[in-house]
Amino acid sequence: DGGITQSPKYLFRKEGQNVTLSCEQNLNHDAMYWYRQDPGQGLRLIYYSQIVNDFQKGDIAEGYSVSREKKESFPLTVTSAQKNPTAFYLCASNTGTYNEQFFGPGTRLTVL
């Protein structure tokens, strides 16, 4: 079955540690996105990538980093510089700019 997988579903980390969230898709989509969701707020764009080896900052990129070495994979690293990292993180992809976006199941990150 084609789709987007994110792992792990729940993640705990100690303050000051970096952590990497996985996002893999087998839909052959060119574009991939990372969004953050906080209670009472809409999803906000962290980073996006239109093509392998290229990515752009979204609205709230500070404290995050990404890589796009393979078309299928778009991992997100939450660094210790991110002041408020506890949130729900969603990965998405689409095949072209005018096409429907597909979402992964999300990773809930809690910083202790």
Partner 1 sequence: KNEVEQSPQNLTAQEGEFITINCSYSVGISALHWLQQHPGGGIVSLFMLSSGKKKHGRLIATINIQEKHSSLHITASHPRDSAVYICAGRGSGGGADGLTFGKGTHLIIQP
Q: Which residues make up the interface to partner 1 (CB under 8 A)? A: 31, 33, 35, 37, 40-45, 48, 50, 56, 58, 88, 90, 97-106, 108
Rounded to whole angstroms, the Cα distance separating 109 from 34 reads: 14
Which letter does DSSP use for residue 84 in this model? -
Instruction: Specify the residue, 63 or 103, whose C-beta has the smaller distance to partner 1.
Output: 103
Instruction: Specify the residue, 18 or 56, whose C-beta has the smaller distance to partner 1.
Output: 56
Smallest distance, partner 1 to C-beta of residue 98, A: 5
Instruction: Give Cα 33 distance to the centre of its chain.
Output: 6
Rounded to whole angstroms, the Cα distance separating 42 from 12 reads: 23
Instruction: Specify the residue, 101 or 110, whose C-beta has the smaller distance to partner 1.
Output: 101
Ordered alpha helix ranges (H), the chain: none
